[in-house]
Amino acid sequence: MTENLNVYAVRMLTQKEYFAPGHRACQGCAEALAIRLVCKALGRNIVIASATGCMEVVSSPIPFTSWRVPWFHVAFENAAAVASGIESGLKVLMRKGRIPNKKIVTIAMAGDGGTADIGLQALSGALERDHDFIYICTDNEAYMNTGIQRSSSTPFGASTTTSPAGKVKMGQITWKKNMPAIAAAHNIPYVATACPSYPIDLVQKVMKAADTKGAAYVHILSVCPTGWRSAPELSIKLGRLAVETGVFPLYEVEKGRYHLSMDFPTLRPIREYFKLQGRFRHLTDDMIQEIEKRIHQEYEELREKAKKGV
Amino acid sequence: MSYRSDHHGKRGGDLIMGKRVGMEVSIAAAEAVKQCNVDVISAYPITPQTHIVEHLSEIVANGEMDAEFFCVESEHSALSVCLGSEATGARSFTCTSSQGLALMSEITYIASALRLPIVMIIANRALSAPISIWNDHSDVMSIRDCGWIQFFAENGQDVYDHVFIAYRLAEKRDVLLPVIINMDGFTLSHVIEPIELIEQEKIDQFLPPYQPLHCLHPDRPVSMGGIALPPIFTETKKAHEVAIWSSMPKILETWKAFGDMTGRYYNPVETYKAEDAETLLVTMGSCGETASVAVDMMREEGRSVGLAKIRLWRPFPFEAFKQATLKAKQLVVIDRAISMGGPGGPVASEVRSALYGEPTHPVVYNFVAGLGGRDVSPEDFIKMVDKAEIEIEEGNREGYEIYGVRE
């Protein structure tokens, strides 16, 4: 299944749309783009368990649906548990000969709130049990669906409706939770980060996750113009800047071994990324410097891991 | 090997079918799940539900049953797993108690609204605080309106039988609703009772493999669990309500078919010496058996007392209940839970609603008894009847009290 798509590039992707147009996502929503690419990567033989969130709301107003693949939404915090049930159900029905034997990939999908906060327990349980499924976290760094409230995945300094920049507090005062590291700590065979600004990289990683026997976790940074207070036409650029500034490095953890998908000997100044987003507008030069220091330190740590191959 | 297996003597595979054997009720329940050829079992341990899951895990570990069995990290996930597996068309089972049910309560509402025919046994136990592992009905009353069909078992045979009844009923195309079987924690779950087991061939005839109407499969993609905007939300709720009321005749049909197979016929409301009784005790769950002993004792003294036992809690059998009780002068309704700051106990509340529209009806006196494992003996039932008869005689037509409070 996995081919080196870099050779063929975008034309290798199927023209078929499994996440149909006409959904109600905002202009410039990179999460919708990410989901569209995930579906293209996997084709039609999948079943999706979706958490409550933007992608659920925009795609499924009864009696309409944007899903051309089987799709199931139960609640906010349990996408991983529901996917566990789907995977087990399909497995046992095939084993008992009640449905034909063929490869069907089970996907759980959730945002950063549904993954790093309320869904973390169910996710940890499903990873520990090593169900054969892919967990896709589309991370737009806050509870965008309910109106841009902070999550544990909101970056330091970002202003949200519940971590506002005020006279004495400067937005989010905690550092972004490292979800890929938490997933990797479960010793699952495959963990990756991706961003739809790098579509081929994203598609390859999702295909690799599908080929992995056991649980796979793919964490996708998804630019949200509404929540980030950025121009919709800049979503792709912002995704690239997140990667090039070291804010969101692209890497894989295969059987515990780290591998950087793209390495930048010199990172772009973080200011270039921040200045395009209203959520960082209030930050002072000192604060930006402090954040940049920490981002660079984390990037170096990641590089070290990749160098050592651990 | 635990002592429980020693009591019923033989392991699951060798059990003598068609004969009455002494068996712990939880083990009988697990055996029934095995006989239903359930595909996916997912659970999280909580007292007093544990013996069911322990026995099921043994059955699967010994290869006596081909199922995906796994222990999840919470009850919320236990039921969520069942929603996922049931939606693929796999027959699914879970069981819980008390806090576990409270934790999964969010998902109970979703399971029924998505019309997924899951079967769950609740080993009823008090809700915290203070924490109590013992029996009452406050756990299931917290999800009274979750839209599942809900049975209350009176004894071990009821529990065993209703596992088959529940799956056959739930999976009917014109029902497609999940089913809860309530069995009192410890007083049923942990006692050894004589259980008449049913031959597997009979079960296979009674309960054919599940044929889902819609399921999650790429060959026929469906979307399940979409968002309803105000113009359609009410209609979805109405459809659900119609579905649960429409299940009433199917429940009766299923009981009839089960009775024809086993000779054990069940009814929404069971009566005992009720025909001519002036006073009727009304119970739900295992205390019905104790109450029947109390009825015998009072009958010996020449008192006109009988018993009505509610077996079907949702949909509530209003007609059957009225038929069973309208001729009585007074009803002494025993509740095992409190509706705090409300009309007393939830059963009495339902009973009063059932009778309110009738031109003449019995006076209802409501006792809450047996909370958090407090024993309710035949003598206690007699005392409650004594008290109610005096109070009603004195003109108290809305009696409600918590029985046996130590002051």
What pLDDT is recorded for position B13? 47
Count the Cβ atoms, other than its own, within 10 Å of residue B142: 17
Tokens of A150: 């902070």
Strand-pairing partners, residue B305, are B279
Q: Which of A61, A104, A121 sits opposite B218 (nearest CB)?
A: A104
Residues B157 and B188: beta-carbon distance below 8 Å = no
Whole-angstrom Cα distance, residue B349 to residue B401?
13
pLDDT at B12: 45
| Tens digits of residue pLDDT in A150-203 | 999 999 999 999 999 999 988 999 999 999 999 999 999 999 999 999 999 999
- Determine whether the interchain pair A70/B217 forms a contact, defined as Cβ–Cβ distance below 8 Å: yes
Best residue in A24, A92, A131 for a mutation probing chain B (most B CBs within 10 Å): A92
pLDDT of residue B2: 38
First vs last C-alpha separation in chain A: 26
Cβ–Cβ under 8 Å, residues B127 and B185: no
pLDDT of residue A6: 57
For residue A71, the tally of other CB atoms under 10 A from its CB is 28
Helix (H, G, I), strand (E, B) or coil at A192: strand
Strands B119-124 and B179-184: parallel
In chain B, % helix, strand, coil (3-state, to 5) comes to 45, 20, 40
Could you tell me the domains of chain B?
3-262 (3.40.50.970), 270-402 (3.40.50.920)
Q: Which two three-digit tokens encode residue B224?
A: 């399940």
Q: What is the pLDDT of residue A3?
A: 52
CB B39 to CB A93 under 8 A?
yes
Count how many Cα atoms sit within 13 Å of the Cα of residue B300 in the half-sphere of its side chain.
7
Please give the Cα distance from B26 to B32 (Å, whole number): 10
Count of residues in chain B: 407
Alpha-carbon distances, residue B109 vs A128, B114, B120, B148 (angstroms): 27, 9, 13, 8
The sign of the CA dihedral B99, B102, B108, B110 is: negative
| ipTM of the complex in this document | 0.95
Identify the CA nearest to A53 among candidates A115, A134, A132. A115
Q: Is the dihedral of CA B190, B195, B201, B202 positive or negative?
A: negative
For the entire predicted model, the pTM comes to 0.95
Nearest CB to A81; choose among B80, B209, B218:
B80
Residue A9, CA atoms < 13 Å, CB-side half-sphere? 0
Of B84, B232, B236, the CB nearest to A89: B84
A46 and A72 Cβ atoms separated by less than 8 Å: no
Which residue segments constitute the domains of chain A, with CATH numbers given? 15-308 (3.40.50.970)
> Residue A31: its pLDDT value, please?
98
Q: Do A89 and B88 touch (CB under 8 A)?
A: yes
Bridge partners (DSSP) listed for residue A253: A191, A258
Distance CA B40, CA B88 (A): 11
Whether residue B77 and residue A125 make contact (CB cut-off 8 A), yes or no, is yes
- Which residues of chain B are within 8 Å of residue A95 when distances are taken between CB atoms? 66
- pLDDT, residue B60, reads 96
> What Å distances lie between residue B158 and A219, B28, B97, B104, CA to CA?
49, 10, 18, 25
- CA-nearest residue of chain B to A119? B77
* pLDDT value of residue A12: 76
SS3 category, A243 = helix
* Mean pLDDT of chain A, nearest integer: 95
Give the count of Cβ contacts less than 8 A between chain A and B: 168
Q: Which residues of A touch B224 (CB under 8 A)?
A: 71-73
For chain B, residues with pLDDT lower than 50 are 1-13
A78 to chain B, closest Cα gap in Å: 6
Distance CA B297, CA A142 (A): 67
Helix and strand tally (H, E) in chain A?
12, 8
**Among the partner residues A45, A62, A124, nearest to B228 by beta-carbon distance:** A62
**Distance from C-alpha of A258 to C-alpha of A306, rounded to nearest angstrom:** 5
Of the candidates A168, A215, A165, A170, the one whose C-alpha atom is nearest the C-alpha of residue A190 is A215
Nearest residue on chain B to A102, judged by CA atoms? B218
Closest-CA distance of chain A to residue B201, Å: 19
d(CA B323, CA B311): 15
Best CA proximity match to B389, nearest among B324, B320, B329: B329
pLDDT of B5? 40
Cis peptide bond N-terminal to A63, omega within 30? yes
Q: What b-and-e string marks burial along A190-216, b requiring 16 or more CB atoms within 10 Å of the CB?
A: bbbbbbbbbbbbbbbbbbbbbebeebb
Residues (pLDDT < 50) of chain A are 1
